[in-house]
Amino acid sequence: MRRRITFVQASDAPFAADQASLTPSTLSIRGLDAAREERATFSFDEIPSELGQVLQQCHQLHIRWAREEPYDAVAPFSSRVSPGLHVFFTPPEEAVRTGMSIPGGVRESVCSLLKRVFDEGIKCESPQHKTSFITPPILSTRFASTAAFQYHSSLPALENFVTYLQHTTCASADEGCLQHAASILSADSVDINYDSISHALTVSGYWSHAPRSGWTEEIHKHAGGTDQVEVGLLGTEKTTEPEEVKMGGLLGVVGKDVELKPTLFSFPARHHPLPDDATYSVSFPAPTGLHPTMTISLPRASLEAPPAPPDATCALHTYLTLPSTIFGDKYQLSTADPLFLSSHNLVALRAVSGETDLEAPDWVVPRWGSNWLVELATPQQSEQAPHEWNVTIPLHMRYLEPSESGYRSAAVPWPVVFWACTAEDGTKMGINPFDRVNLGWEGLFGTRTMFYQLHPAPKSQEEPHRLVEKIDVPVLKLEGEGIFQGKVIEVGTVTVILLGLVWVLWKLGLAARSPGPRKDNKRAKTE
């Protein structure tokens, strides 16, 4: 196993030399105020057998999870996904089609693994039959080897995942391992990656803030001396090239280096953060009913052009991850009508995938939902923009199952909002040490596109906020008195449909039995 721990301090965060002390076997960290990313890489023979049997069936498997509460995404970890569990999967059939060879194994589905590891209640069946996963519209087939199938589910916390890790990777008496696995509960995002070429599984977590007293711990070398533990204490520096991220600080390998070594390096990056005041918020104005409108509110700072290269072309986008309970009308949103687009401050619908049936109720929709990439309009001059710029996206609720109250609740995660800018010709966007790919939306752009992320933030800080909107949806009321309640409406609807069908069949039967006009009469009339 290889372990990499990266601390990233803000430029104004204090740091003293005695806060990090390296010995031949231990790195001691004391009161460090920094964001943190920890990544563990396992070879295939280190993976539990039940997990390995499923991974053998995958050409690639990428899992992304983000919490529902707002968090900071600092460089070089500035990319985002909507809250919940995202799965990107390419089965062996796709690998065979492209000439890759995948070893056989016990044919347990990826969905079974997801249910066991994350939550038994998630809506997922075998993706090989496309009964749960959707197929994203890949516009750039070379970009990051984007997976063939995509899945999303609401998952507020990772308790079941932590329990799975503790049972499969930790001994019952190993308190250090158990506590280390439990630390994932406070992570802001978690990534899991596997591909059949490297046969390596990586698990990484990101914490945007240190505990109240700062990061204080001792990082030991592996007892066997075979596993490598790399640690970096870094901060971002100003760069001369807008497409680059420059970092400097201290690096060391626990158990190998005798002291932390200073370092300074830079690399082209796809993902870049924007200033803290470049935010957005999402709401559904009441009453929502069956036709809610998603409103994305942008302050003036969010409308300023990002610090891209001078010859870059930039456009503001949003990427919606909608559960099966809510959907957009692709015919309406893909219109070229300038009056409709300008009234909602939209430019165009750029891509859509998943469930878009306009009539199907939720209980007959097999797959999890849909994704929508929409380009947003901005004022021609940002300095003349209003104090708040509102973009509205009309959506539609599916018919949900009846309830005793006459209402059901639907949860809609906030979309991600970002600027996409074309890089200069010749810019090499290679994989950097902190690159994050297979996010769903970045594969819809070209290989040299740079992304500048806006920060999701509630309009009011008075109450704890979640990046998921709850919508009360009116449904059929099961109980109650009167002719307009519950079963009476169901029976009446069925009766009316049957009577209408009988009437249509009766009319068709009469028309079939009626004699046609005689040919002699026709001839006489023509003469």
pLDDT for 56-89, tens place per residue? 888 889 999 999 999 999 999 999 999 999 999 8
In a domain, 444, yes or no: yes
Clarify whether residues 453 and 305 are in a common domain: yes
Q: What percent of the chain has pLDDT over 90?
A: 52
524 within a domain of the structure (yes/no): no
| CA 33 from centre of chain | 28
C-alpha pair distances (Å), 238 with each of 126, 264, 265, 481: 48, 12, 11, 70
Q: Which of 474, 494, 516 is the last residue of a domain?
A: 474
- 216 and 306, same domain (yes or no): no
Please report whether residue 368 resides in a domain: yes
User: Could you tell me what percentage of the chain is helix, strand and coil, using 3-state DSSP and rounding each to the nearest 5?
Assistant: 20, 35, 45
Q: Which pLDDT does position 384 carry in this prediction?
A: 66
If you search the block for the tokens 């752009």, which residue do you land on?
445
Q: Give the DSSP H/E element, type plus range, for residue 521.
A: helix 519-526
Residue 165's closest CA among 187, 147, 133, 197? 187
pLDDT for res 374: 97
Domain assignment of residue 22, yes or no: no
Structural domains counted in the chain: 2
Do residue 215 and residue 336 come from a single domain?
no
In a domain, 382, yes or no: yes
Range of the domain at 137: 2-13+36-228
The CA distances from residue 492 to 428, 429, 482, 498, 499, in Å, are 66, 62, 13, 10, 10
pLDDT for res 92: 76
Could you tell me if 55 and 19 are in contact, meaning their C-beta atoms sit under 8 angstroms apart?
A: no
Q: Does 508 fall in a domain?
A: no
Give exposure, 126-150, as e/b (b: 16+ Cβ within 10 Å): bbbeeebbbebebeeeebbbbbbbb
Same structural domain, 290 and 423: yes
Q: Are residues 223 and 310 in the same domain?
A: no
Residue pointed to by tokens 């591909």: 195
Task: Please indicate, yes or no, whether residues 101 and 219 belong to a single structural domain of this protein.
Answer: yes
Examine the domain organization and report whether 224 and 324 are in the same domain. no
Same structural domain, 103 and 216: yes
Domain end marker among 213, 228, 243: 228
Are 72 and 196 within one domain? yes
Positions of the chain with pLDDT under 70: 93-108, 126-130, 138-145, 224-226, 382-385, 423-431, 460-464, 479-490, 516-527
Do 179 and 46 reside in the same domain of the chain? Answer: yes
Q: Is residue 406 situated within a structural domain? A: yes
Within a domain: residue 55? yes
Shared domain check, 331 and 190:
no
- Which of 428, 457, 474 represents a domain boundary (last residue)? 474
- Do 347 and 221 lie in a common domain? no
